[in-house]
C-alpha cells in the first residue's frame, strides 16, 4: 500500500507566501537592473524619489499614500475578474521593481553614504508594504480563481464567492496602508537629514 501525504492549508499558505515573495524579489532585481541600464529614467526617478527637502508632512504623506492606494485599488479590481491572476502577478512584480528602482536610484545618487537612509527609511517601508502587497495579491489570486471556477465548471456549490468578504479584506489592507503611510511620513520628516 502506498503512503499518501496531504498538504495542509497552512502549508499551502506558507508556500504561497514564499512564491509571491520570490516573485517580488524578481521584480526588485528587474528594477535594480533598469536603474543601472542605459534607459532614460528621469521620469521614473521623479515619481519614485520625490525630493522632500522643505516638504511639509502632508506632502510627504501624500507621496507615500497615493502610490500605495493605486496599488491596492488595482489589486482589488484585478480580483473581481476571472482573468485577474496574471495581472495580480504583474502587480507584485511591478511593486518589486518599484522597490528596486528606489533603492538603486538613491544608491546611484549618494553612493555608500545612502546606506543609513536605506536602512532607516526604505527597508521598514519596503518590508511592511511588501507584506501588504503579498496579502493583496494572494487575495486577488484566490478570488480570481474562484470566479474562474464558477464560470467554467458546471458545479457551483463547491466554494462560495463572497464579494462582501473580499471587500472587507481590502478595506483592512487599506487601513494598514494608511498606518504605514503615516509612519513612513513621520520617519521621512524626522530623518530627512539622512537623505
Supply the pTM of this predicted model: 0.82
191 in helix, strand or coil?
A: coil
Is residue 91 domain-resident?
yes
Separation of alpha carbons 31 and 45, rounded Å: 12
Is residue 186 domain-resident?
yes
Is residue 185 domain-resident?
yes
Structural domains in the chain (count): 1
Q: Residue 141 belongs to what domain range?
A: 13-50+61-194
Is residue 2 domain-resident?
no
Provide CB contacts within 8 A for 173, sequence distance 6+. 72, 132, 135, 136
Per-residue tens of pLDDT for the chain, all 195 residues: 555 555 566 656 667 788 998 999 999 999 888 888 877 766 666 666 655 556 677 888 888 888 899 999 999 999 998 889 999 999 999 999 888 888 888 787 778 887 887 888 888 888 999 999 999 999 999 998 888 887 887 665 555 667 888 999 999 999 999 999 999 888 887 877 666
Compute the half-sphere exposure of residue 74: CA atoms within 13 Å on the CB side of its CA. Answer: 16
Is residue 7 domain-resident?
no
Is residue 188 domain-resident?
yes
C-alpha cell read off for 12: 499551502
Amino acid at each position: 500500500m502506498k503512503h499518501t501525504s496531504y498538504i495542509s492549508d497552512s502549508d499551502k499558505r506558507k508556500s504561497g507566501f514564499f512564491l509571491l515573495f520570490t516573485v517580488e524579489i524578481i521584480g526588485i532585481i528587474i528594477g535594480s537592473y533598469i536603474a543601472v541600464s542605459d534607459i532614460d529614467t528621469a521620469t521614473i526617478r521623479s515619481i519614485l524619489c520625490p525630493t522632500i527637502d522643505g516638504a511639509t508632512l502632508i506632502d510627504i504623506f501624500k507621496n507615500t499614500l497615493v502610490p500605495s492606494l493605486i496599488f491596492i485599488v488595482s489589486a482589488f479590481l484585478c480580483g473581481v475578474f476571472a482573468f485577474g491572476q496574471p495581472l495580480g502577478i504583474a502587480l507584485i512584480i511591478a511593486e518589486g521593481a518599484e522597490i528596486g528602482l528606489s533603492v538603486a536610484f538613491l544608491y546611484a545618487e549618494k553612493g555608500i553614504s545612502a546606506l543609513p537612509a536605506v536602512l532607516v527609511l526604505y527597508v521598514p517601508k519596503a518590508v511592511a508594504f511588501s507584506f501588504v502587497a503579498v496579502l493583496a495579491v494572494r487575495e486577488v489570486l484566490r478570488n480570481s480563481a474562484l470566479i474562474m471556477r464558477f464560470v467554467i465548471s458546471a458545479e457551483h456549490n463547491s466554494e462560495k464567492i463572497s464579494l462582501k468578504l473580499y471587500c472587507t479584506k481590502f478595506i483592512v489592507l487599506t487601513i494598514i496602508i494608511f498606518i504605514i503611510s503615516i509612519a513612513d511620513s513621520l520617519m521621512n520628516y524626522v530623518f530627512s537629514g539622512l537623505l
